A and B are shown apart, each in its own frame.
Chain A
Amino acid sequence: MNVGLPDVLVQLRSRGRQATIPSVYPPIIHYATRRGQSGKDHPVTAISRRTLIATALVTPAIARRAFSQAKVIKIGAPLPLTGALAPEGLKQRRGYEIWADAVKSADGIKVGNDRVKVELAYADYESNTPRAAQAVERMITQGGVSAVFGPYGSGAVKASSTVTERHKVPMLAPTASAREVYDQGHKFLFGTLAPNDAVTVPLARFMLAAVPNLKRMAILSRNDLFPLALGQQMEQAAKQSNIEVASFQRYPIGAMDHASALTEMAATKPDWVFVTGYTNDLILVRRQMHELKFTARVITMLTGPSYKEFIDALGPLAERVSSVSWWEPVLPYRGVGPFATSEDYAKAFTARYNVVPDYGEASSTACAVVLQTAAEKAQSIEPIALRDALAGLEVLTFYGPIKFGPSGQIESQKCPIFQLQGGKRVIVAPADIRQGDLQIIS
């Protein structure tokens, strides 16, 4: 409700939103007043015949536009476009944009008998979690969005999902995988990244089988929500597989030096080193491992090796680093949506952005495709109808089979384990999509 705010603030707020219907009339009147031969500026009397004809020709176009503008689904996308997480925010945005463009060229999505246009409303929350929640609230109460794509990362999703839950608007989170995000009993939250234990348990089993005599491992985790949760899950999975966790270290956010942690880890002589963090942390850790001549037979890092930046920054040091992903371009799925197969998606993405997509971008597009499918199934763009459709959805897409579990997190995903060989990601597990074998670092 817009009660009580001074005009100037209302105007300032509305400037932030994209204009939906371009204003055509004022220029015509302006044109008319300028060309008025009588020298008077009165808009009505100064309209020349030329202008009247022009208006008559243009009006049907305007009318058609206004009419087709009637059905628009607005989707909120709060992203960290500035600040620490800006690179990740931009990736998510690319994932949405490529879908939005594909949908636009198909003239909108099919909801019942209408073709509904899609409008993405972005907001920059500056990598600051409370701002993310604020941005989401603003989008819902002021922007009239029917659904929200989650912000980047588990922490921000957890915080802003309380907002969407309160307002009963569905949120689709493409980049949140910690189970802790989904444990608040929210009915309106959905996530397209499989939980951490879907990553760690198969990983532990695979390594145990693939690496002879794997006895000890060392874990180094960054001390915030997702990396720490992942590290703890790995510890549990290792225990289940009878691998001894000789050392579990945590490093503070923004740590500049890992020498002490690495020195201590090296002393335990682990067979397998498992490191979690964001790309920048992992680059630093790998470099310092090399400086300290600390090596192990297997080095697994999450989530850096999925990104081009990691490979570029480390060069030869990135060789034989293994990792787990939630999606790879070589996956064999074929499904609904603007991109039939993973390969189609990768091709379209590369053509547009000049870089091979990684799982974060694919997950973002998957969220969009899933929302589209839900809208088509529910034949409505009402938030609650969308939510119900999402809850009961079971669909195959380029991203894989998508089915959300009772907590809202996807439960149908198989996470490929890969290793960097020759600067490329080579999938080593699961067996049905395997491309090569794990190479032990000697």
Chain B
Amino acid sequence: MDIKETIFKSIFFSASVFSAGITLFISGFMIVLALPILKQGLFFDMLTSPWAPDHGLFGLGPMIVGTICIAFMALVISFPISLGCSFFIGILNPKGLGKWLKKMVESMTAIPTVIYGFVGIFLLVPLVRELFLKGSGMCILSAAIMLSVLISPTMILFFVDSFARVPQSDLNAVDALGGNTVQKFFYVVLPHSWKGMLTGIILSFGRAMGDTLIALMISGNSVAFPGSVLDSARTLTAHIALIIAADFDSIEFKTIFLGGIFLYIMTSASIILTKFLFRKKNNK
């Protein structure tokens, strides 16, 4: 028994070391490859300047702005929908309908992003173009709407899970006091579960930021700083996908590693934040 246990332990241990190692290795790899540019002390220039390779400008500013705008807007659209949906599943749950809805939401997580991209191009983009009568319809708004559909299952499932952790006795107490469902939701469920909900929000934000295909297909990919939500914009991920085909020796190609580092920093920051919140909650 003892030997078996040690063997299993070491297998699991090495597996975790391996996966953690890969993550670290990737960040190291990107830093090494971006070194020629980092050495020139251009890091902060890259953050703010525009992208015009023909004029010797290789700034990632527009892409960073584009990434944050699209991901943040996706979150803003997705949050109320997810909240309502999880309220329906977790609290209202008329005639056990919530269970079925939850199953549907779960299966939504399995839809490949390219499908959303397709739907976006053929349905959403023409709609946005005709509705607002400005631009091509390939814009921040379209991409954000599609992304919000992509991230909402993550959010809904997290919300429902955190609602389920609210102690039944508290809920019974509200019923005993004669409170209605809405009061129960706002005064008992939300205060109890906001930390779990925050985790879901942050994870969805990371997912929205890391998604490539939807942005590549429907955000338009222009390299100008976006001025409104109806302007075409390019995300860092789409930028990397577009530039990676350029030849290896060009400066363009080297800058995409810097883009990778920015993305890495932004997504890991959101995940570390999540972990931090988790620990606080468990200590409480």
A joins B in a complex: no
Interface residues of A (CB under 8 A from B): none
